Amino acid sequence: MASAEFAVNNKVHMATKVSFFMANYGRELRMGGDIRKREKVESTMEFAERIKKVHKEARTALKKAQEDMKRQANKKRKKTENWKKGDRVILSIKDMVFKETLVRKLVDRYVGPYVIEEVVSTNAVKLQLLPSMRIHLVVNVS
HSE-CB of 92 using CA atoms within 13 angstroms: 6
Report whether pLDDT(139) > 90. no
| Residue 132 or residue 84, greater confidence | 84
Q: Which pLDDT does position 129 carry in this prediction? A: 83
Instruction: Give residue-wise pLDDT tens across range 65-117.
Output: 999 999 998 888 777 778 888 888 888 877 776 666 666 676 777 877 888 99
**The dihedral sign for the CA sequence 135, 136, 137, 142:** negative
| Residue 86 or residue 8, greater confidence | 86
Domain residue ranges in the chain: 2-73, 88-140
Return all residues near 6 (Cβ < 8 A) that are at least 6 apart.
29, 31
79/81 Cα distance (integer angstroms): 7
Q: Which pLDDT does position 124 carry in this prediction? A: 86
Instruction: Give residue-wise pLDDT tens across range 18-72.
Output: 777 777 777 676 666 656 666 666 688 888 888 888 888 888 988 999 999 999 9
